[in-house]
């Protein structure tokens, strides 16, 4: 929802559909000129996006001291079919990294450099030493 460029989307849930008028209600305000695109949750894509992000992060910050992880309640066992998917994948790229976090119903993260509250996502911050 919005005009955020080719690599940026803010995902919002569909909260209602009126079959008579064809109207679709989403859980955010929609303004004239905003792009609207439908996405389906997909465990394979979610997994690969996390692997890509962790691969990049582990190359940039191999000596991270810790991490904070905030995952949507729509992830986890309900999406991946097993508990601790995100923490497990993180431990592959950062084997001894202490990780703290929680499941939430809205995760703060950036899209094209701007902060947004996301849904159906995961936000993770690495704790690193300043140079």
38-87 pLDDT tens trace = 888 899 999 999 999 999 999 999 999 999 999 999 888 989 999 999 99
CA-nearest of 127, 120, 87 to 104 is 120
Predicted TM-score (pTM) above 0.85: no
Q: Is residue 74 within 8 Å of residue 27, measured between CB atoms?
A: no
Same domain, 53 and 27: no
Same domain, 116 and 58: yes
Number of domains, the chain = 2
**Residues 121, 85: Cα–Cα separation, whole Å:** 13
- Residue 28's domain comprises 1-39
Same domain, 59 and 93: yes
DSSP assigned state of 27: S
Same domain, 84 and 57: yes
Same domain, 58 and 107: yes
Same domain, 57 and 111: yes
């Amino acid at each position: 929802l919005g005009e955020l460029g080719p690599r940026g989307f803010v995902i919002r849930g569909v909260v209602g559909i009126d079959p008579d008028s064809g109207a679709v209600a989403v859980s955010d305000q929609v303004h004239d000129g905003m792009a609207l695109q439908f996405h389906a949750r997909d465990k394979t894509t979610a997994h690969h996006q996390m692997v890509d992000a962790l691969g990049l992060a582990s190359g940039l910050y191999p000596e991270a001291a810790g991490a904070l992880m905030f995952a949507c309640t729509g992830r986890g066992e309900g999406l991946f079919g097993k508990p601790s998917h995100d923490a497990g994948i993180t431990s592959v790229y950062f084997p001894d990294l202490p990780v703290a976090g929680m499941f939430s119903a809205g995760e703060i993260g950036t899209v094209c450099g701007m902060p947004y509250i996301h849904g159906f996502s995961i936000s993770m911050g690495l704790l690193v030493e300043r140079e």
